[in-house]
């Protein structure tokens, strides 16, 4: 049984994936700082599947122009409450950098293909677990891939690994065209 969006949000908040958790917010800031340290020509950012909006906020605070995209209304309401200055958009747009953090495992290859045909960011900050667990079905993890499989998928769309990073997860990669 898959969790509802409201149940998913509650579990996230209870686990500290929250605007009220300084450690989680510091992780978002550290992630933005890791990108800034690369000195890349990035001004605009799409936070695709923004969740609670922490990474949108981290990149906003770092001076980037951020567009926040989240499909679940429960999460959008949370973002509006905690970060009213963020721009929540109705559909993904092309930006210099797309944040795609712990979202792709919730998407089918067909959904990923559709997204990649709609937008073409110069860079993609990507993180998706390769660990399979007994909770994958409940969490909506329908597309868990090994890291080399993710790299091969990105190569299909013209992206190569620019650099591997340690934030926000140990399996984070910055892809570039």
Contact between 100 and 47 under an 8 Å Cβ cutoff? The reply is no
What single-letter DSSP state applies at residue 122?
A: S
Q: What is the pLDDT of residues 76-85, one digit of tens each?
A: 999 999 999 9
Q: What is the pLDDT of residues 90-106, one digit of tens each?
A: 999 999 999 999 998 98
Q: CA-to-CA distance for 16 and 2, rounded, in angstroms? A: 21
Asked whether residue 110 carries a pLDDT value surpassing 80, the answer given is yes
Q: CA-to-CA distance for 86 and 93, rounded, in angstroms? A: 15
Q: Among residues 174, 6, 13, 137, which one has the least CA distance to residue 82?
A: 13
Q: What is the mean pLDDT of residues 19-34?
A: 98
Average pLDDT, rounded, for the chain: 94
Asked whether residue 21 carries a pLDDT value surpassing 70, the answer given is yes
Q: What is the mean pLDDT of residues 58-69?
A: 98
Domains contained in the chain, CATH given: 5-176 (3.40.50.150)
Helix 73-82 and helix 5-14, axial crossing angle in degrees, nearest 10: 40
User: Could you tell me the pLDDT band of residue 167, with boundaries at 50, 70 and 90?
Assistant: very high
DSSP class per residue in 89-107? ESS----SEEEEES-GGGS
């Amino acid at each position: 049984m898959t969790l509802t969006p409201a149940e998913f949000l509650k579990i996230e908040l209870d686990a500290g994936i929250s605007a009220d958790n300084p450690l989680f917010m510091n992780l978002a800031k550290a992630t933005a700082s890791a990108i800034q340290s690369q000195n890349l020509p990035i001004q605009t950012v799409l936070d695709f599947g923004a969740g609670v909006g922490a990474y949108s906020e981290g990149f906003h605070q770092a001076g980037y122009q951020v567009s926040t995209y989240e499909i679940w209304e429960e999460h959008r309401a949370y973002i509006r409450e905690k970060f009213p200055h963020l721009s929540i958009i109705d559909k993904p747009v092309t930006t210099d950098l797309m944040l795609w953090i712990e979202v792709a495992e919730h998407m089918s290859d067909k959904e990923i293909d559709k997204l990649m045909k709609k937008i073409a960011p110069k860079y993609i900050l990507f993180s998706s677990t390769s660990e399979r667990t007994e909770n994958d079905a409940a969490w909506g993890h329908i597309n868990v891939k090994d890291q080399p499989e993710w790299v091969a998928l990105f190569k299909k769309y013209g992206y190569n690994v620019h650099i591997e990073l340690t934030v926000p997860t140990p399996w984070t990669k910055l892809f570039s065209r």
